[in-house]
Amino acid sequence: MAALFAEPMMPLSIPNLSISFPAKVVFGNGTFAQLPDELQRFLCRRVLFVTIEPLLSQVEPLVQKLEQQGIGAAIDTSIVQEPTFADYETVLQAAQTFDPDVVVGIGGGSVLDVAKLVAAQLDGEQTLPEIVGIGNLAGRRRKLICLPATAGTGSEVSPNAILVDGSDHQKKGIISPYLVPDVVLVDPLLTRSVPPAVTAATGLDALTHCLEAYTNKFAHPFVDLWALDGVRRIAGHLVRAVQRGDDEQARSEVAMGSMLGGFCLGPVNTAGVHALSYPLGSTFHIAHGLSNALLLPHVMHFNLSASPERHAEIAVALGCAREADLTATAKKGIAKVYELMAACGVPSRLRDLDIPEDALPQMATDAMKITRLLKNNPRHIGYEDAVAIYEAAY
Protein backbone atom coordinates (compact mmCIF):
# COMPACT_ATOMS: atom_id res chain seq x y z
CA MET A 1 0.00 0.00 0.00
CA ALA A 2 2.74 2.47 0.94
CA ALA A 3 4.38 2.12 -2.46
CA LEU A 4 1.27 3.46 -4.15
CA PHE A 5 1.80 6.82 -2.50
CA ALA A 6 5.54 6.92 -1.98
CA GLU A 7 6.31 9.16 -4.94
CA PRO A 8 3.88 11.03 -7.23
CA MET A 9 4.60 10.41 -10.90
CA MET A 10 7.24 12.80 -12.22
CA PRO A 11 9.00 13.25 -15.57
CA LEU A 12 12.03 11.03 -16.14
CA SER A 13 14.30 14.07 -15.84
CA ILE A 14 13.87 17.19 -13.72
CA PRO A 15 12.57 20.03 -15.92
CA ASN A 16 14.47 23.28 -16.29
CA LEU A 17 13.49 25.90 -13.73
CA SER A 18 13.61 29.69 -13.82
CA ILE A 19 12.45 31.74 -10.83
CA SER A 20 12.63 35.48 -10.20
CA PHE A 21 12.50 36.25 -6.49
CA PRO A 22 11.90 39.65 -4.90
CA ALA A 23 15.12 41.13 -3.55
CA LYS A 24 13.59 41.19 -0.08
CA VAL A 25 10.56 39.48 1.49
CA VAL A 26 9.46 40.18 5.05
CA PHE A 27 6.59 38.14 6.49
CA GLY A 28 4.93 38.64 9.85
CA ASN A 29 2.41 40.54 11.93
CA GLY A 30 3.18 44.25 12.04
CA THR A 31 5.58 44.34 9.12
CA PHE A 32 3.61 47.25 7.64
CA ALA A 33 5.50 49.38 10.18
CA GLN A 34 8.74 48.63 8.30
CA LEU A 35 7.56 50.41 5.17
CA PRO A 36 9.03 53.83 6.12
CA ASP A 37 12.44 52.24 6.63
CA GLU A 38 12.28 50.60 3.22
CA LEU A 39 11.34 53.89 1.57
CA GLN A 40 14.19 55.65 3.36
CA ARG A 41 16.59 52.99 2.11
CA PHE A 42 15.68 53.91 -1.48
CA LEU A 43 16.46 57.63 -0.87
CA CYS A 44 13.30 58.50 -2.75
CA ARG A 45 12.03 61.98 -3.63
CA ARG A 46 8.44 61.08 -4.49
CA VAL A 47 6.31 58.04 -3.64
CA LEU A 48 3.08 56.92 -5.27
CA PHE A 49 0.76 54.77 -3.18
CA VAL A 50 -1.73 52.66 -5.11
CA THR A 51 -4.19 51.41 -2.53
CA ILE A 52 -7.85 51.19 -1.48
CA GLU A 53 -10.00 53.54 0.57
CA PRO A 54 -10.40 51.18 3.57
CA LEU A 55 -6.63 51.37 4.09
CA LEU A 56 -6.37 55.16 3.98
CA SER A 57 -6.43 55.35 7.78
CA GLN A 58 -3.11 53.50 7.76
CA VAL A 59 -1.60 55.05 4.63
CA GLU A 60 -2.38 58.73 5.26
CA PRO A 61 -0.32 59.03 8.49
CA LEU A 62 2.65 57.62 6.59
CA VAL A 63 2.11 60.14 3.81
CA GLN A 64 2.08 62.98 6.34
CA LYS A 65 5.32 61.74 7.85
CA LEU A 66 6.97 61.54 4.42
CA GLU A 67 5.85 65.06 3.54
CA GLN A 68 7.30 66.34 6.81
CA GLN A 69 10.61 64.84 5.68
CA GLY A 70 10.39 66.69 2.36
CA ILE A 71 9.35 63.61 0.39
CA GLY A 72 6.45 64.06 -2.00
CA ALA A 73 3.62 61.54 -1.81
CA ALA A 74 0.47 60.85 -3.78
CA ILE A 75 -2.32 58.34 -3.23
CA ASP A 76 -4.43 56.63 -5.89
CA THR A 77 -7.54 54.68 -4.81
CA SER A 78 -9.24 54.46 -8.20
CA ILE A 79 -8.89 50.67 -8.62
CA VAL A 80 -12.04 49.23 -7.05
CA GLN A 81 -12.59 46.14 -9.25
CA GLU A 82 -10.68 44.01 -11.71
CA PRO A 83 -8.95 46.73 -13.78
CA THR A 84 -9.44 47.31 -17.47
CA PHE A 85 -6.82 48.61 -19.86
CA ALA A 86 -8.55 52.02 -19.59
CA ASP A 87 -8.49 51.96 -15.77
CA TYR A 88 -4.80 51.23 -15.81
CA GLU A 89 -3.98 53.90 -18.41
CA THR A 90 -5.74 56.50 -16.26
CA VAL A 91 -3.58 55.60 -13.26
CA LEU A 92 -0.45 55.56 -15.40
CA GLN A 93 -1.12 59.02 -16.86
CA ALA A 94 -1.52 60.50 -13.38
CA ALA A 95 1.62 58.72 -12.23
CA GLN A 96 3.61 60.10 -15.15
CA THR A 97 2.61 63.61 -14.12
CA PHE A 98 3.62 62.98 -10.50
CA ASP A 99 6.83 61.17 -11.55
CA PRO A 100 7.53 59.00 -8.45
CA ASP A 101 10.81 57.27 -7.70
CA VAL A 102 8.99 54.47 -5.89
CA VAL A 103 5.59 52.89 -6.44
CA VAL A 104 3.98 51.19 -3.44
CA GLY A 105 1.03 48.86 -3.94
CA ILE A 106 -1.09 48.12 -0.84
CA GLY A 107 -4.25 46.15 -1.47
CA GLY A 108 -5.67 43.13 -3.21
CA GLY A 109 -4.43 41.56 -6.40
CA SER A 110 -5.96 44.12 -8.74
CA VAL A 111 -4.30 47.00 -6.89
CA LEU A 112 -0.95 45.22 -6.78
CA ASP A 113 -1.12 44.34 -10.48
CA VAL A 114 -1.71 47.98 -11.42
CA ALA A 115 1.08 49.18 -9.12
CA LYS A 116 3.48 46.69 -10.68
CA LEU A 117 2.63 47.79 -14.20
CA VAL A 118 2.85 51.49 -13.37
CA ALA A 119 6.32 51.03 -11.90
CA ALA A 120 7.35 49.12 -15.02
CA GLN A 121 5.98 51.58 -17.58
CA LEU A 122 7.13 54.82 -16.00
CA ASP A 123 10.07 55.94 -18.18
CA GLY A 124 9.25 53.07 -20.52
CA GLU A 125 8.83 53.41 -24.27
CA GLN A 126 6.58 50.41 -24.81
CA THR A 127 2.81 50.68 -25.13
CA LEU A 128 0.52 48.46 -23.10
CA PRO A 129 -0.42 46.22 -26.07
CA GLU A 130 3.30 45.70 -26.75
CA ILE A 131 3.92 44.20 -23.30
CA VAL A 132 0.91 41.89 -23.17
CA GLY A 133 1.99 38.26 -23.14
CA ILE A 134 4.98 36.39 -21.76
CA GLY A 135 8.40 38.05 -21.63
CA ASN A 136 7.60 41.15 -23.69
CA LEU A 137 8.29 43.80 -21.06
CA ALA A 138 11.73 45.34 -21.66
CA GLY A 139 12.50 46.48 -18.12
CA ARG A 140 11.62 48.58 -15.08
CA ARG A 141 13.48 51.67 -13.83
CA ARG A 142 11.36 52.63 -10.80
CA LYS A 143 11.48 50.88 -7.45
CA LEU A 144 8.50 48.76 -6.47
CA ILE A 145 7.18 47.70 -3.05
CA CYS A 146 4.10 45.52 -2.59
CA LEU A 147 2.05 44.79 0.51
CA PRO A 148 -0.94 42.43 0.08
CA ALA A 149 -4.09 43.33 2.00
CA THR A 150 -5.86 40.13 1.03
CA ALA A 151 -4.67 36.53 1.17
CA GLY A 152 -5.44 35.32 -2.31
CA THR A 153 -3.67 36.31 -5.50
CA GLY A 154 -0.04 36.05 -4.42
CA SER A 155 0.57 38.96 -6.79
CA GLU A 156 3.04 40.44 -4.31
CA VAL A 157 5.65 37.83 -5.29
CA SER A 158 4.55 36.80 -8.78
CA PRO A 159 5.72 38.05 -12.20
CA ASN A 160 2.10 38.33 -13.38
CA ALA A 161 -0.35 41.18 -13.86
CA ILE A 162 -3.85 40.76 -15.29
CA LEU A 163 -6.01 43.38 -17.01
CA VAL A 164 -9.31 43.25 -18.91
CA ASP A 165 -9.05 44.45 -22.50
CA GLY A 166 -12.12 46.59 -23.11
CA SER A 167 -11.95 46.02 -26.87
CA ASP A 168 -12.83 42.33 -26.61
CA HIS A 169 -13.66 42.00 -22.89
CA GLN A 170 -10.95 39.37 -22.43
CA LYS A 171 -8.59 39.10 -19.49
CA LYS A 172 -5.00 39.42 -20.64
CA GLY A 173 -1.78 38.75 -18.80
CA ILE A 174 1.52 40.59 -18.73
CA ILE A 175 4.13 38.11 -17.52
CA SER A 176 7.65 39.32 -16.83
CA PRO A 177 10.38 39.01 -14.19
CA TYR A 178 10.44 42.84 -14.19
CA LEU A 179 7.04 42.76 -12.46
CA VAL A 180 8.49 41.03 -9.41
CA PRO A 181 8.78 43.71 -6.70
CA ASP A 182 12.02 44.87 -5.10
CA VAL A 183 10.53 44.58 -1.62
CA VAL A 184 7.56 42.58 -0.36
CA LEU A 185 6.08 43.12 3.10
CA VAL A 186 3.43 40.56 3.99
CA ASP A 187 1.58 41.68 7.10
CA PRO A 188 -1.30 39.28 7.89
CA LEU A 189 -2.79 41.93 10.20
CA LEU A 190 -3.74 43.91 7.09
CA THR A 191 -6.18 41.12 6.20
CA ARG A 192 -8.09 41.15 9.50
CA SER A 193 -10.66 43.66 8.24
CA VAL A 194 -11.37 41.76 5.03
CA PRO A 195 -15.05 40.68 5.06
CA PRO A 196 -15.86 36.94 5.33
CA ALA A 197 -17.07 36.57 1.74
CA VAL A 198 -13.91 38.18 0.34
CA THR A 199 -11.73 36.18 2.72
CA ALA A 200 -13.37 32.99 1.44
CA ALA A 201 -13.10 33.85 -2.24
CA THR A 202 -9.51 35.05 -2.09
CA GLY A 203 -8.48 32.10 0.07
CA LEU A 204 -9.96 29.65 -2.42
CA ASP A 205 -8.14 31.51 -5.18
CA ALA A 206 -4.86 30.97 -3.32
CA LEU A 207 -5.76 27.31 -2.80
CA THR A 208 -6.34 27.00 -6.55
CA HIS A 209 -2.92 28.49 -7.31
CA CYS A 210 -1.24 25.86 -5.18
CA LEU A 211 -3.42 23.00 -6.41
CA GLU A 212 -2.99 23.85 -10.09
CA ALA A 213 0.76 24.23 -9.67
CA TYR A 214 1.07 20.75 -8.15
CA THR A 215 -1.17 19.03 -10.74
CA ASN A 216 0.28 21.08 -13.63
CA LYS A 217 1.67 19.40 -16.74
CA PHE A 218 4.89 21.30 -16.03
CA ALA A 219 5.01 20.61 -12.28
CA HIS A 220 8.47 20.85 -10.75
CA PRO A 221 9.76 19.19 -7.55
CA PHE A 222 11.05 22.50 -6.18
CA VAL A 223 7.69 24.20 -6.73
CA ASP A 224 5.87 21.12 -5.37
CA LEU A 225 7.23 21.97 -1.92
CA TRP A 226 5.51 25.34 -1.93
CA ALA A 227 2.34 24.04 -3.56
CA LEU A 228 1.63 21.21 -1.13
CA ASP A 229 2.51 23.30 1.91
CA GLY A 230 0.24 26.06 0.64
CA VAL A 231 -2.63 23.60 0.22
CA ARG A 232 -2.13 22.31 3.78
CA ARG A 233 -2.01 25.76 5.34
CA ILE A 234 -5.00 27.17 3.47
CA ALA A 235 -7.21 24.08 3.81
CA GLY A 236 -6.40 23.82 7.49
CA HIS A 237 -7.11 27.45 8.41
CA LEU A 238 -9.37 29.13 5.82
CA VAL A 239 -12.65 28.30 7.54
CA ARG A 240 -11.36 29.80 10.80
CA ALA A 241 -10.19 32.93 8.97
CA VAL A 242 -13.63 33.28 7.40
CA GLN A 243 -15.62 32.64 10.55
CA ARG A 244 -13.31 34.48 12.98
CA GLY A 245 -11.66 37.30 11.10
CA ASP A 246 -9.62 38.43 14.10
CA ASP A 247 -7.96 35.00 14.49
CA GLU A 248 -4.34 36.03 13.95
CA GLN A 249 -3.02 32.49 13.57
CA ALA A 250 -5.59 31.62 10.92
CA ARG A 251 -4.94 34.87 9.07
CA SER A 252 -1.19 34.25 9.17
CA GLU A 253 -1.48 30.69 7.91
CA VAL A 254 -3.71 31.67 4.99
CA ALA A 255 -1.46 34.63 4.17
CA MET A 256 1.54 32.30 4.10
CA GLY A 257 -0.33 29.86 1.89
CA SER A 258 -1.26 32.69 -0.45
CA MET A 259 2.35 33.84 -0.72
CA LEU A 260 3.49 30.29 -1.43
CA GLY A 261 0.88 30.11 -4.18
CA GLY A 262 2.26 33.34 -5.60
CA PHE A 263 5.73 31.83 -5.78
CA CYS A 264 4.21 28.95 -7.79
CA LEU A 265 2.82 31.34 -10.40
CA GLY A 266 6.14 32.32 -11.92
CA PRO A 267 7.88 29.04 -12.74
CA VAL A 268 4.76 26.85 -13.19
CA ASN A 269 1.58 29.00 -13.23
CA THR A 270 -2.04 27.93 -13.23
CA ALA A 271 -4.06 25.86 -15.69
CA GLY A 272 -7.60 24.88 -16.63
CA VAL A 273 -9.43 26.32 -13.63
CA HIS A 274 -8.08 29.79 -14.23
CA ALA A 275 -8.54 29.61 -18.00
CA LEU A 276 -12.20 28.69 -17.62
CA SER A 277 -12.75 31.23 -14.86
CA TYR A 278 -11.63 34.20 -16.96
CA PRO A 279 -14.92 34.57 -18.90
CA LEU A 280 -16.84 34.68 -15.62
CA GLY A 281 -14.85 37.73 -14.60
CA SER A 282 -14.59 39.54 -17.91
CA THR A 283 -18.19 38.94 -19.05
CA PHE A 284 -20.19 38.74 -15.82
CA HIS A 285 -17.84 40.59 -13.45
CA ILE A 286 -17.73 37.70 -10.99
CA ALA A 287 -14.87 38.16 -8.54
CA HIS A 288 -11.79 36.22 -9.62
CA GLY A 289 -11.54 34.08 -6.50
CA LEU A 290 -15.21 33.16 -6.60
CA SER A 291 -14.93 32.27 -10.30
CA ASN A 292 -12.11 29.86 -9.53
CA ALA A 293 -13.96 28.32 -6.59
CA LEU A 294 -17.04 27.60 -8.70
CA LEU A 295 -15.00 25.70 -11.27
CA LEU A 296 -12.28 24.12 -9.14
CA PRO A 297 -13.96 20.80 -8.16
CA HIS A 298 -15.27 20.28 -11.69
CA VAL A 299 -11.88 20.77 -13.33
CA MET A 300 -10.34 18.52 -10.67
CA HIS A 301 -12.84 15.81 -11.62
CA PHE A 302 -12.04 16.30 -15.31
CA ASN A 303 -8.27 16.13 -14.69
CA LEU A 304 -8.29 13.21 -12.26
CA SER A 305 -7.78 10.51 -14.88
CA ALA A 306 -4.72 12.28 -16.26
CA SER A 307 -2.87 12.51 -12.94
CA PRO A 308 -4.45 10.35 -10.21
CA GLU A 309 -1.20 10.24 -8.24
CA ARG A 310 -0.96 13.99 -7.91
CA HIS A 311 -4.65 14.46 -7.20
CA ALA A 312 -4.37 11.85 -4.46
CA GLU A 313 -1.49 13.78 -2.87
CA ILE A 314 -3.58 16.95 -3.08
CA ALA A 315 -6.38 15.13 -1.25
CA VAL A 316 -4.01 14.19 1.55
CA ALA A 317 -2.74 17.77 1.77
CA LEU A 318 -6.37 18.89 2.02
CA GLY A 319 -6.68 16.70 5.11
CA CYS A 320 -8.16 13.51 3.67
CA ALA A 321 -7.15 10.01 4.75
CA ARG A 322 -5.64 7.72 2.14
CA GLU A 323 -7.97 5.16 0.62
CA ALA A 324 -7.21 1.78 -0.93
CA ASP A 325 -6.37 3.27 -4.33
CA LEU A 326 -5.35 6.56 -5.87
CA THR A 327 -8.63 7.41 -7.53
CA ALA A 328 -10.66 6.86 -4.36
CA THR A 329 -8.29 9.11 -2.44
CA ALA A 330 -8.40 11.79 -5.14
CA LYS A 331 -12.21 11.77 -5.15
CA LYS A 332 -12.17 12.42 -1.42
CA GLY A 333 -10.10 15.51 -2.19
CA ILE A 334 -12.77 16.77 -4.57
CA ALA A 335 -15.41 16.19 -1.92
CA LYS A 336 -13.22 18.10 0.55
CA VAL A 337 -13.18 21.13 -1.74
CA TYR A 338 -16.98 21.11 -1.76
CA GLU A 339 -16.93 20.92 2.04
CA LEU A 340 -14.59 23.92 2.25
CA MET A 341 -16.81 25.93 -0.06
CA ALA A 342 -19.90 25.13 1.98
CA ALA A 343 -18.19 25.92 5.28
CA CYS A 344 -17.03 29.25 3.86
CA GLY A 345 -20.49 30.11 2.53
CA VAL A 346 -19.38 30.13 -1.09
CA PRO A 347 -21.96 29.41 -3.83
CA SER A 348 -21.39 26.12 -5.59
CA ARG A 349 -23.35 26.66 -8.82
CA LEU A 350 -23.08 29.12 -11.71
CA ARG A 351 -26.86 29.48 -11.65
CA ASP A 352 -26.61 30.86 -8.12
CA LEU A 353 -24.93 33.93 -9.63
CA ASP A 354 -27.65 34.48 -12.25
CA ILE A 355 -25.44 33.42 -15.15
CA PRO A 356 -27.75 32.39 -18.00
CA GLU A 357 -27.34 28.84 -19.21
CA ASP A 358 -27.34 29.93 -22.85
CA ALA A 359 -24.12 31.87 -22.15
CA LEU A 360 -22.10 28.70 -21.56
CA PRO A 361 -21.12 28.06 -25.22
CA GLN A 362 -19.75 31.60 -25.63
CA MET A 363 -17.89 31.27 -22.33
CA ALA A 364 -16.29 28.11 -23.67
CA THR A 365 -15.32 29.91 -26.86
CA ASP A 366 -13.71 32.70 -24.84
CA ALA A 367 -11.92 30.24 -22.57
CA MET A 368 -10.30 28.57 -25.57
CA LYS A 369 -8.39 31.82 -26.17
CA ILE A 370 -6.50 31.49 -22.87
CA THR A 371 -3.90 29.20 -24.39
CA ARG A 372 -1.09 30.36 -22.07
CA LEU A 373 -2.93 28.58 -19.22
CA LEU A 374 -4.71 25.79 -21.07
CA LYS A 375 -1.37 24.43 -22.23
CA ASN A 376 -0.45 23.77 -18.59
CA ASN A 377 -3.46 21.59 -17.85
CA PRO A 378 -2.64 17.91 -17.25
CA ARG A 379 -5.49 16.88 -19.57
CA HIS A 380 -6.30 18.61 -22.85
CA ILE A 381 -9.37 20.83 -22.62
CA GLY A 382 -11.12 21.37 -25.93
CA TYR A 383 -14.23 23.41 -26.67
CA GLU A 384 -16.65 20.54 -25.99
CA ASP A 385 -14.81 19.73 -22.76
CA ALA A 386 -15.12 23.33 -21.63
CA VAL A 387 -18.87 23.33 -22.35
CA ALA A 388 -19.25 20.09 -20.39
CA ILE A 389 -17.33 21.50 -17.41
CA TYR A 390 -19.48 24.64 -17.39
CA GLU A 391 -22.61 22.50 -17.61
CA ALA A 392 -21.44 20.40 -14.68
CA ALA A 393 -20.86 23.58 -12.70
CA TYR A 394 -24.21 25.06 -13.68
pLDDT confidence of residue 3: 40
pLDDT confidence of residue 4: 43
Architecture of the domain defined by 24-190: 3-Layer(aba) Sandwich (3.40)
How far does CA 97 lie from the centroid of its chain?
30
Nearest-angstrom CA–CA distance, 88 and 103: 14
Least confident range from 92-101, 145-154, 281-290, 332-341: namely 281-290
Q: Is the pLDDT of residue 98 over 70?
A: yes
pLDDT confidence of residue 169: 86
Write down the CATH number for the domain with range 192-393: 1.20.1090.10
Q: Which H, E and C letters describe the chain, residue by residue?
A: CHHHHCCCCCCCCCCCCCCCCCCEEEECCCHHHHHHHHHHHCCCCEEEEECCHHHHHHHHHHHHHHHHCCCEEEEECCCCCCCEHHHHHHHHHHHHHHCCCEEEEEECHHHHHHHHHHHHHCCCCCCHHHHCEECCCCCCCCEEEEEECCCCCCCCCCCEEEEEECCCCEEEEEECHHHCCCEEEECHHHHCCCCHHHHHHHHHHHHHHHHHHHCCCCCCHHHHHHHHHHHHHHHHHHHHHHHCCCCHHHHHHHHHHHHHHHHHHCCCCCCHHHHHHHHHHHHHCCCHHHHHHHHHHHHHHHHHHHCHHHHHHHHHHCCCCCCCCHHHHHHHHHHHHHHHHHHCCCCCCHHHHCCCHHHHHHHHHHHCCCHHHHCCCCCCCCHHHHHHHHHHHC
- The boundaries of every CATH 3.40.50.1970 domain in the chain are 24-190
Q: Which residue has the higher pLDDT, 230 or 8?
A: 230
What percent of the chain clears pLDDT 90, i.e. is strictly above it?
Answer: 92
Mean pLDDT of 104-110: 97
pLDDT confidence of residue 5: 45
pLDDT confidence of residue 14: 86
Q: Is the pLDDT of residue 6 over 60?
A: no
CA-nearest of 192, 354, 193, 200 to 290 is 200
pLDDT confidence of residue 15: 84
pLDDT confidence of residue 95: 98
Residue 13: pLDDT band with limits 50, 70, 90:
confident
Q: Is the pLDDT of residue 108 over 60?
A: yes
Summarize pLDDT for 310-348 with one digit per residue, the tens: 999 999 999 999 999 999 999 999 999 999 999 999 998
- The boundaries of every CATH 1.20.1090.10 domain in the chain are 192-393
Residue 353: pLDDT band with limits 50, 70, 90:
very high
- Label the pairing between strands 46-50 and 143-148: unpaired
CA-nearest of 140, 61, 142 to 98 is 142
Q: Is the pLDDT of residue 12 over 80?
A: no
Summarize pLDDT for 126-137 with one digit per residue, the tens: 999 999 999 999
Summarize pLDDT for 259-303 with one digit per residue, the tens: 999 999 989 999 999 999 999 998 998 989 999 999 999 999 999
Q: Is the pLDDT of residue 8 over 80?
A: no
- To the nearest whole number, what is the mean pLDDT of the chain? 94
What percent of the chain clears pLDDT 70, i.e. is strictly above it?
Answer: 97
Mutual angle of helices 221-243 and 308-317, in 10-degree steps = 40
Q: Is the pLDDT of residue 21 over 50?
A: yes
pLDDT confidence of residue 9: 53
Mean pLDDT of 187-212: 96
pLDDT confidence of residue 1: 38
